[in-house]
Amino acid sequence: MLVNLIWGAGFVVVDDVIKVMPVYTFNALRFTLAALTLLPLLFINTKQVHNQESAQGSIPKLLKTGFGLGFLLFLGFTLQALGLLYTSVSNTGFITGLCVPMVPVIGFLLFRTKVGREVWISVVIATIGIYLLTMGDKMTLNIGDVLVALGALCYACHISLMDKYGDGFPVVKLSIVQLSAVACFSIIAALINGFVDTQSSYPPISEQLSNVRVVAGIFYSAVLGSAFAYWAQTASQRIIEPHKIALIFATEPVFAHITAYFALGEHLGFQGWVGAALIIIGMLYSELGGKRKAKLQPLDQMASPSE
C-alpha cells in the first residue's frame, strides 16, 4: 500500500518537475540514479544471484532482453510524462491503471494466451469509464489523455513480454539493465531534442538543477518511486495472495487523485468520478471476476516476475 501511495503521489511530483525540466532530461536523470541505487543489491544478494546464474543465460542475452524490455519502458514513461503536460494528474493516474485489463488482452493477441470472459467484460467497462473520464459532455479528446493511454499500452506490452522472456534472469540484474536502458534511450532523446528544439522555453540546465523542487522530484522518483518500490513490491508479492494484490494496486490512481486534489486543487466532477469508478471496477473484475490467479505486475514497471 505504501508503494502505491508513493506511485500515486509521484504523478504530482513528476507534473511539478516537467514544468521546469524537459521530459527526456528528467527521465535520463531519474533512471540513471535509479539504476545506481539498485547496484548495492547485487552485492547484498550475491549468494542469491550466484544460485540463479545457471538460469541466467549469457550476458549478451541479458543485455538484449533488458534493452528490448527497457525500450518499452522508455516509451511508456515518456508518453506518460508528455501526457502530463496536457492533461490532469487525476486523469493520468486512472488512465494508467488501464494497463491492468490490457495485459491479458495483449497476451492473447501476441501469444494466444487464453483469456476469460471477465477480461473482455472488464475492457468494455474500463472503456466506458475512460470515455466518461476524458470526454464526457464536451465530446473532445485531450491529446494528453491519448498519450497517457498509449503509455499504458506500452506498459501492458512490457508486462506481457516480461512474462514471456524475463523469467530466465535474476530480478536485480534484469531490473538494473532495464533501468539503464531507459536512461540511455532518454539521454539520446534529450540530446536529439536539444538539437531540434533550439528555441526551448526551459531555463538552462544549471538553473534547472539549482531548483530545489526539481532535485527533490528527481530523487523522489528515482529512489522511492523506482528503487525502493522495486524492492518492496518484489518482496511483498512473495507473501501476498494475488487477489489482495489486485485490490492494493487498484488504489494507485485513487492516491493520485487524492494527492492532486490537495496539492493542485483538481476536481473530477460527478461524471469524472463515475468514469474513474468504472475504470477501477474494470481493473478489479479483470483479476477477480474469473478463476485466474495470475499475479498482477507493478504498474510502475520496475520489476520482473518474482522467482
- In the chain, how many domains are there? 1
Enter the pTM of the model: 0.83
| Residue 307 resides in a domain | no
Q: What is the pLDDT of residue 282?
A: 86
**What pLDDT is recorded for position 241?**
64
CA distances from 204 to 25, 82, 135, 198, 211 (A): 12, 20, 37, 12, 11
Q: What is the DSSP letter of 166?
A: S
Whether 301 has a pLDDT exceeding 50, the answer reads: no
What is the per-residue pLDDT across 196-239, written as a single tens digit (0 to 9) for each?
A: 875 678 888 999 999 999 999 999 999 999 888 877 876 676 67
Lowest pLDDT segment from 85-89, 135-139, 171-175: 135-139
Residue 41: the pLDDT is 82
Q: What is the pLDDT of residue 115?
A: 77
144 domain residue, yes or no: yes
Query: Which grid cell sits at 147?
Result: 498519450
* Least confident range of 102-116, 139-153, 227-241, 258-272: 227-241
Give the relative orientation of helices 59-84 and 171-196 as an angle to the nearest 10 degrees: 50
The answer to whether residue 177 is domain-embedded is: yes
More confident call, 100 vs 48? 100
Angle at 63 between CA 182 and CA 233, to 5 degrees: 60
pLDDT tens track for 22-75: 999 999 999 999 999 988 887 776 555 555 554 445 888 989 999 999 999 999
- C-alpha span between 204 and 198 (Å, rounded): 12
Instruction: Determine the structural domain holding residue 45 and report its residue range.
Output: 2-288
Residue-level length of the chain: 307
The one-character DSSP state at 221 is I
215: in domain? yes
pLDDT at 139: 56
Domain membership flag for residue 293? no
Q: What is the pLDDT of residue 192?
A: 92
- The pLDDT of residue 166: 79
Element (H, E) at 292: none
Task: Provide the 10 A C-beta neighbour count for residue 191.
Answer: 13
pLDDT at 302: 40
Kindly report the average pLDDT of the chain as a whole number.
83
In a domain, 263, yes or no: yes
Identify whether 304 is part of a domain: no
> Tell me, what's the pLDDT at 99?
83
Residue 295 is assigned to a structural domain of this protein: no
In the chain, % of residues over pLDDT 90: 39
Cell of 129: 469509464
| Residue 160 pLDDT | 86
Predicted confidence at residue 126, as pLDDT, reads: 86
298 confidence band (pLDDT: 50, 70, 90): very low
Residue 173 to residue 169: CA distance in whole angstroms: 7
CA-CA distance, 116 to 211, in Å (whole number)?
A: 50
More confident residue, 263 or 168: 263
Q: Encode pLDDT of 164-192 as tens digits.
A: 887 778 878 888 999 999 999 999 999 99
Task: Tell me what the mean pLDDT of segment 136-142 comes to.
Answer: 65
